A and B are shown apart, each in its own frame.
Chain A
Amino acid sequence: MSGTDETGTSRRAFLGAGLAAGGAVATTGLARAQDADPLITEVQDWASAFGDPVDATPYGMPIHYESHVVRRNVEWLTESPVSSINFTPIHALEGTITPQGCAFERHHSGAIELAKQDYRLMISGLVERPLVFTYEDLTRFPRTITTAFCECAANGGMEWGGAQLEGCQFTQGMIHNMEYTGVPLRLLLEEAGVKPEGKWVYAEGADASSNGRSMPLEKAMDDVLVAFFANGEALRKEHGYPVRLVVPGFEGNMWVKWLRRIGVYDRAVESREETSKYTDLMPDGRARKWTWVMDAKSVITSPSPQAPIRHGKGPLVITGLAWSGHGKVARVDVSLDGGVNWVEARLTGDVKSKALTRFHLDLDWDGSEMFLQSRAVDETGYVQPTKNQLREIRGLNNVYHNNGIQTWWVRADGEVENVEIA
């Protein structure tokens, strides 16, 4: 890994990057106000009268000034809103944890309402003791806490053929990252006693779609969680209340919501969601199956088309997200010129395995146009490829698992476009 000797000298690196982009570092003096600011010189209502009492909102929503920060749907993508997807407003979020209320939703038959009292989880198939658990039973198993990203396999799928949508909410927003509390699936399987011939675990939901998915027993016994809390509160309805599966590093479709049955088998069930869907069609007409792991990926969330630069040249914070289904993010590089030159960004906060990692690059922007890109490197040494590198191997019909490098064209006026470059 390069740049390890630069610990603490990141600012110098960024200034260098600014120069590399062709601009001199501005050293202008502070702007001087024409008139005194009435927000300061006049007593404002909020500085004199009462604000809201306690209990005005027993469970609060974000202040209305932030009402543009919501999940958004692209209506032409799907025929019905109950079998559809929307997108996390990642352009407007910071840090790494995604609030449940704006974390993207994917339902195959709508978000159902299932009470804890009505909840049952069955473990059946190749087990010594087929069991039924109530919600209360689950709360009596030893718990663990895991932070993990959940990314839809189709995140960026609309961009396979070329740049289509304006904004990282739409191009990379089928992702969220939460801190889950729950019971390791391993403990439930041990409670039932997996028979020696049991090699696969099949998880099904209680909703009308059931969305059954198979995974190898090794994964089920490793880090999979039967979760009932997210970000410290009960799962929201749209995220599978009261119980969902958390499958760190694996595609979001496998994170079965409203989890109702765990079946142990000697082979994969080969359900609809793992044959006709979520398989990757290759140029020779055959398809990859069982492409569970989400490879390393990153995106600059600001500036981006929905987060243009409005303050003009000078100090600029470039911020983004990086993640890998194979483990920790080791490094993120940022390019201002479409991949000619790269500089290492700063990983801010804790870096967790199979979880979103925040990166920043503090830049003195000279006001000239930029082609912003980010490139994640994970702890296995895997380097996020360009879209064209992926297309050379997978062709144009692949749809799923697009982890290619995103290019934002930042214009001199600060507006930002989603582009493809050659």
Chain B
Amino acid sequence: MSKSLKLLAPALALLAAPAFAEPLGLGRAALPEEIAAWDVAVLPDGTGLPDGSGDVFTGDEVFAEKCASCHGDFAEGIDNWPVLAGGQGSLTNRRPVKTIGSYWPHLSTVWDYIHRSMPFGAAQTVTADETYAITAFLLYSNGIVEDDFELSQTNFKDIVLPNAEGFYPDDRPGTEYPHFSVAPCMQGCREPVKVTKRAVELKVTPTDPDGKPAGTLPDLRVGAAAGQAATEETAAETEQPDPEPAVEATAETAAADPALIEEGAKVFKKCQACHKVGEGAKNATGPALNGIVDGAAGSVEGFRYSKPMQAAAEGGLVWSHEALAEFLADPKGYMKGTKMSFAGLKKPEEIEAVIAYLASVGG
């Protein structure tokens, strides 16, 4: 047997279907500490919960620090961020309010999600005890426990959420499919139609500069013959989908380093969940950041600052390059009690880049 045939023989054996049941010997055994690090799911009966506990009082404090900037001090939700409390009895309303108390079936989901994926933008920074505490606070916010309640892995299973029985497995095969599986009518199937709703009247669709729905295909009969109008039109359009239009503003800041600003635009993505910057930027979860570099702290109109930030503003704090760098490295260390839940930028070069970027946009 030639060498190549020898190589081929085991390959052919693999292709035979029954051989698949035999392991190929790929990969390696997962170590217990690796499984512990990644296999953190908590099941409805509490399986997977680590040791620990936390009470409502502590939860209130941790929530105010880590969660309230989006979810509100009372879990009522700020702007369009999720409402976590209330809404019980609203599920048949035209505008149901789906919260932990009104909709979620399992407390395990609350614990698992906070521990695994919150706070938004700083996931996996909440300890087990803090997660128990936040969960206890959310139970209290929803009127499910009293204010002296402490949650632990031992009493976890005793808690039943109000909507625990509110879900049933997909029943479309029984309730819909037979109904929708009859041979369809082809001729004279209904009365002539009347228009009852026109989307155009709502004016909620993104539009192009000419007022047409965004992305409307160009009229191929306009401008093409001369070759010029079409070129101008498309030249203007090519700039539009630039993912970082703010980078264009670098032209105005002659001394700035374009590469650093570009890097800063990337770093700023970490901030974008809460902060807007650039032309027309509005306050969101955090204040708009136009003019923030060398601007007075706590001075963006219409934004409700934390008490410490208000005090700093009254004390005349200015966001100089140095002050901003210090704040961004460790927001909560720099200003205890700030609403900014961000953990901070670890790398000095990221801080330099993002400050350069902020200085370059929004004047």
- Residues from chain A with a CB closer than 8 A to the CB of B227 are 39, 44
Query: Is B238 close to A, CB under 8 A?
Result: yes
Smallest CB–CB gap between A108 and chain B, Å? Answer: 8
Tell me the A49-102 residues at the B interface (CB within 8 Å): 64-65, 67-70, 72-76, 78-83, 89, 91-92
List, sorted by A's number, 30 A–B pairs whose CB atoms are closer than 8 Å: A2-B186, A64-B235, A75-B206, A79-B81, A92-B217, A109-B117, A123-B27, A124-B39, A132-B27, A132-B29, A132-B30, A142-B14, A142-B20, A166-B205, A204-B41, A208-B124, A261-B38, A261-B39, A275-B109, A286-B166, A306-B215, A307-B216, A310-B219, A339-B189, A383-B181, A417-B200, A419-B198, A420-B195, A420-B196, A421-B195
**Interface readout for B95-136 with A: 1 if CB under 8 Å, 0 if not?**
010101001111011001100110011011000000000000
Q: How many residues of A contact B (CB 8 A)?
A: 121
| A140, A142, A269, A295 interface centre (most CB from chain B within 10 Å) | A269
Please name the 10 residue pairs, one residue from A and one from B, whose CB atoms are nearest each other, closest first.
A338-B193, A208-B123, A285-B91, A420-B197, A418-B199, A130-B30, A163-B199, A166-B205, A166-B213, A131-B27
CA–CA, A212 to B120, complex, Å?
16
Tell me, yes or no, whether B251 is within 8 Å of chain A by CB.
no
* A79 near B79: Cβ-Cβ < 8 Å: yes
Contact string, B208-244, partner A, CB cutoff 8 A, digits 1/0?
A: 1000111111111100010100100011011011000
A38 close to B225 (CB less than 8 A): yes
Q: 1/0 per position for A377-405, CB-CB distance to B under 8 A?
A: 10011111100010001001100000000
Separation of A292 and B172 alpha carbons in the complex (Å):
11
CA separation between A360 and B221, bound complex, in Å?
24
Inter-subunit contact B94/A396 (CB<8 Å)? yes
Judged by a CB distance under 8 angstroms, whether A110 is at the interface is yes
Closest B residue by C-beta to A130: B30
With a CB–CB cut-off of 8 A, which chain B residues contact A380?
A: 177, 181
List, in ascending order, chain A residues with CB within 8 A of B219's CB. 310
Query: Does B21 sit at the interface, judged by CB under 8 A?
Result: yes
When distances are taken between beta carbons in the complex, the residues of chain B under 8 Å from A108 are 117
B172 and A295 form a contact (CB under 8 A): yes
Q: How far is the CA of A37 from the CA of B190 in the complex (A)?
A: 49
A141-B24 CB under 8 A given contacts A81-B272, A417-B199: yes
Would you call B80 an interface residue if the criterion is a C-beta within 8 Å of the partner chain's C-beta atoms?
yes
**B199 and A306 within 8 A (CB):** no
Indicate whether B148 reaches chain A with its CB closer than 8 angstroms.
no
Residues in A with CB closer than 8 Å to B190 are 338-340
Contact residues of B: prevailing secondary structure: loop
Instruction: Decide yes or no whether B155 CB sits under 8 A from chain A.
Output: no
Closest CB-CB distance, A420 to chain B, in whole Å? 4
Report yes or no: A64 in contact with B38, Cβ–Cβ below 8 A.
no
Known interface pairs A80-B120, A124-B30; 5 further A-B residue pairs with C-beta atoms within 8 A, sorted by A's residue number: A67-B238, A202-B41, A307-B216, A340-B192, A418-B200
A124-B39, A163-B198 known; A371 vs B193 contact (CB < 8 Å): yes
The A contact surface, by secondary structure, is loop
B residues within 8 A CB of A166? 199-200, 205, 213
B residues whose Cβ falls under 8 Å from a Cβ of A: 14-15, 20-21, 23-24, 26-30, 34-35, 38-39, 41, 43-44, 70, 79-81, 91-92, 94, 96, 98, 100, 103-106, 108-109, 112-113, 116-117, 120-121, 123-124, 166-172, 175-177, 179-200, 202, 204-206, 208, 212-221, 225, 227, 230, 234-235, 237-238, 240-241, 269, 272-274, 284-285
Docked Cα-Cα span, A125 to B171, in Å, equals 29
**CB pair B39 A306 closer than 8 Å:** no
Render A278-305 as a binary contact track against B, CB cut-off 8 A, 1 for contact: 0101011111111111010000000001
Tell me whether B23 and A129 are in contact (CB under 8 A).
Answer: yes
